[in-house]
């Protein structure tokens, strides 16, 4: 019994079919509790007023935007090394989800930035790196769409994901070098004295858990869809031969 048994599509379908409703339920519960708690039962910030409440969407989606890419990187490596098809399909399934989280982070940031910084957009390092991350996601998805043979597409996108990760990291530091910005520093670090006050911190934690579960649920569901699409194609091909 090893974890690689779940790389078998049949086993994967069976276990995720059982798991998925639970993940959906937990995600819904966490988001419901976290967002309602955050929006209606936390005080307004004394300087930012009620606009501060956008962190319950902004921070978790920004975290997941980066984590989704990391997950794609790991899945791509597993595909390149061990040739498990489920892994390649999971990477494919995660990309549009990650792109959506990136866009949510950018849009909520703009909505908050307008009253706070007085502008929808500033060429701040964090904002700029997220915009670049969006471009990386777009390129990755476009390459999946463009290549017809599914195995070739999986291989090429995996190589792109590896190289893209290095360049995304380089861009992050290049952008930091280029412009010191408006965005506040990290305030959720575990190793720092001054973090977000506890009243905001606990609902935020629940929201983050909700977004993680939401991501897992969406990726599992989309991977299952991809597997089913593959099976359909195999059936159609067999019909043609018969």
Q: How far is the CB of 165 from another protein (least distance, A)?
A: 11
Distance, C-alpha 192 to centroid of its chain: 25
Least separation, in Å, of the C-beta of 241 and another protein?
Answer: 22
Residues in the chain, total: 242
As measured in angstroms, the least distance from the Cβ of 69 to another protein is: 12
Instruction: Provide the minimum distance between the beta carbon of 168 and another protein in the complex, in angstroms, as a whole number.
Output: 8
Please identify, using beta-carbon distances, which residue of 160 and 196 lies nearer to another protein: 160
Closest CA to 110 of 123, 97, 100, 119: 119
- The span from the CA of 60 to the CA of 47, in Å, is 22
Q: At what angle do helices 150-178 and 85-117 cross, to 10 degrees?
A: 30
Closest CB to another protein among 178 and 201? 178
> CA 111, CA 106: separation in Å to the nearest integer?
9
Q: Least separation, in Å, of the C-beta of 163 and another protein? A: 5
CB nearer another protein, residue 16 or residue 157:
157
| Cβ atoms of residues 75 and 88 within 8 Å | yes
Residues that bind another protein (CB under 8 A): 132, 135-136, 138-139, 142-143, 146-147, 152, 155-156, 159-160, 162-164, 167-168, 170-171, 173-175, 177-178
Q: Which is nearer to another protein, 2 or 145 (CB)?
A: 145
Nearest CA to 150 out of 238, 89, 62 is that of 89
Packing angle between helix 85-117 and helix 125-146, nearest 10 degrees? 150
**Nearest CB to another protein, comparing residues 74 and 131:** 131
**Residue reference for tokens 């989800």:** 97
Residue 21 beta carbon to another protein: minimum distance, rounded to whole angstroms = 37
- Torsion over CA: 222, 224, 225, 230 (sign): positive
Q: Which is nearer to another protein, 134 or 195 (CB)?
A: 134
């Amino acid at each position: 019994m090893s974890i690689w048994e779940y790389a078998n599509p049949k086993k994967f379908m069976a276990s995720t079919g059982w798991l998925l409703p639970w993940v959906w339920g937990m995600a819904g519960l966490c988001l419901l509790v976290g967002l309602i708690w955050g929006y209606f039962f936390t005080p307004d910030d004394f300087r930012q007023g009620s606009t501060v409440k956008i962190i319950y969407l902004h921070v978790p989606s920004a975290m997941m935007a980066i984590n989704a890419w990391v997950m794609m990187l790991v899945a791509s490596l597993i595909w390149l090394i061990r040739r498990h098809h489920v892994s390649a399909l999971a990477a494919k399934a995660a990309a549009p989800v990650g792109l959506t989280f990136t866009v949510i982070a950018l849009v909520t940031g703009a909505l908050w930035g307008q009253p706070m910084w007085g502008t929808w957009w500033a060429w701040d390092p964090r904002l700029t790196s997220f915009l670049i991350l969006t471009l990386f996601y777009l390129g990755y998805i476009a390459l999946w769409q463009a290549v017809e043979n599914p195995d070739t597409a999986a291989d090429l996108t995996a190589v792109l994901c590896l190289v893209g990760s290095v360049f995304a990291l380089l861009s992050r530091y290049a952008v930091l070098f280029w412009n010191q910005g408006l965005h506040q520093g990290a305030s959720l670090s575990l190793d720092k004295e001054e973090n977000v006050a506890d009243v905001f911190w606990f609902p935020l934690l629940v929201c983050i858990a909700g977004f993680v579960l939401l991501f897992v649920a969406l990726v599992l569901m989309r991977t299952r869809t991809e597997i089913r699409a593959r099976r359909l194609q195999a059936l159609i091909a067999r019909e043609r031969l018969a």
